[in-house]
């Protein structure tokens, strides 16, 4: 049954990327990026290595829900500096 929920028509990646990049500053004050992988979209934000706290604000699910424009969204926290090294633009 879970597959039925996620198996919906998806908006083009370019549209989803542009809209998420507009919304990400509303949910995090840290460096961020958006990446696609295996049918889902990842909203990646950096956090301080010594911190146990999430970089995402409390209202993040209201701004970017679990299903966004037909895509399953995951919010991923990575240590500071990872985006520049591992998620840089190709």
**Tens of pLDDT along 1-15?**
556 666 778 999 999
Q: What is the mean pLDDT of residues 14-32?
A: 95
Whole-prediction pTM: 0.85
**Is the per-residue pLDDT at 86 higher than 90?**
no
To the nearest whole number, what is the mean pLDDT of the chain?
Answer: 88
**Is the per-residue pLDDT at 90 higher than 60?**
no
Beta bridge partners of 36: 41
Beta bridge partners of 75: 43
Structure tokens at 78: 């990575």
CA distance 17 to 19: 6
């Amino acid at each position: 049954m879970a597959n039925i929920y996620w198996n919906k028509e998806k908006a083009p990646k370019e549209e989803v990327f542009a809209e998420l990049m507009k919304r990400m500053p509303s949910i995090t004050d840290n460096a961020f990026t958006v990446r696609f992988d295996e049918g889902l979209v990842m909203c990646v934000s950096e956090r301080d290595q010594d911190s146990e706290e999430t970089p995402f604000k409390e209202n993040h699910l209201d701004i970017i829900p679990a299903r966004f424009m037909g895509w399953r969204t995951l919010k991923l926290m990575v240590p500071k500096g990872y985006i520049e090294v591992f998620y840089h633009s190709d």
